[in-house]
Amino acid sequence: MTIRHATARDRFDYENNGRLTGDLARASWLIDQSAWSLCPLLPIPDSAMESEIQRRHPRADARKTELLTREWLANSRHHIKGLDHAHATFNTGVQGFIDSATYGCSSVCSLPLTYYHVPDVARIMGRPHSTPEDAPPGSLAIMELPTPHYTVEQVSQQISLAKSRGHYVAVDMTFLPVSTMDVEVDLTDADEVWISMNKAWNTGDLRPAWRFSRTPRPDALTLAHERSRYNRDSMAAWKHIIASRGYDEVVLRNLSVYKHVCDVFGLAETNNMLVARLPGVKWEPMYTENWNYNDLVGTHNLIAHKGRHFW
């Protein structure tokens, strides 16, 4: 049932339900009169980039774009080791990669409070889900790097542990462009690597993403890529971004602002620039019990609106 509120303020107070208080509540209201404007892990608004993406729809050669992508990754501030996966597949979002990998396994594992979609997909496909330590040998292990609830070192150790137990390891580096620190990423033990644009840049429904794998994956995504049946607008958006923006541009442009808003609002920094830590914050309702944003505050709008209001 839809609840009608007399004023926007009434709706805000109802949806906020005391979650944000003080200056954070004030900031959320000033940004867009929404109690959800500080929901974590959303890209920083960039109207110029968003309009450019929507305006440009040229065809992009997949092989040339793949090579440019590998070069783009290699030129980042991070030390990425072991990305010698020979096979590349383009898709609209990493969800298809999750579905394919999960469908092809007998058991799935991931770290708690990472990758909220994985346990849900495992459940509807009838695959057992557990942590890497508890999973039977030969399971699919999906790791998110970086992820705000674990250090890069902890995730790297879990990747090595998963491989040592005979798991098939997939590493999602979607959030690496917005890492708040330079990191060493060792992908030697990764069977698949996923990267996507829709967390560092707001690509809307285009959601361009790549999968790099050591062997060709036996799925429809591989066939679609080989036959150039991927979303061409999505590919064009990817090519435009890597041709016009450096891998580290979002962080280089906004990291000092992130630190500023954390200081102003009393937030603790994390390894992901799109989120900061604030113990006690509860985000409800969430559409899955496998993930929540509790104890986290989204910083994307605080960064974008710095200087427009009181911060």
The label of the residue with tokens 């959320």 reads: 28
Q: What is the pLDDT of residue 95?
A: 92
Q: Is residue 261 domain-shared with residue 233, that is, in the same domain? A: no
Residue 1 resides in a domain:
no
User: For residue 281, what are the domain limits?
Assistant: 8-45+249-304
The last residue of a domain, from among 209, 227, 244: 244
Q: Which residues contact 138 (CB under 8 A, 6 or more apart)?
A: 106, 107, 166, 167, 168
Q: Which of 199, 218, 244 is the last residue of a domain?
A: 244
Tokens 């679609």, residue located = 224
d(CA 149, CA 114) in angstroms, rounded, equals: 8
CA dist 202 and 311 (Å) reads 23
| CA atoms of 38 and 297, how far apart (whole Å) | 6
pLDDT of residue 293: 87
Same-domain check for residues 157 and 198: yes
3 occurs within a structural domain: no
Query: pLDDT digits over 166-180, tens only?
Result: 999 999 999 999 999
Residues 212 and 261 reside in one and the same domain: no
Q: How many domains does the chain have?
A: 2
pLDDT 10s digits, 174-217: 999 999 999 998 999 999 999 999 889 989 889 999 999 999 99
Task: Report if residue 256 sits inside a domain.
Answer: yes
The answer on 197 and 103 residing in a single domain is yes
pTM metric for this prediction: 0.86
For residue 106, is pLDDT > 90?
yes
CATH of the domain at 155: 3.40.640.10
Residue 310 lies in a domain: no
Q: Over 70: is that where the pLDDT of 116 sits?
A: yes
Q: Could you tell me if residue 151 is inside a domain? A: yes
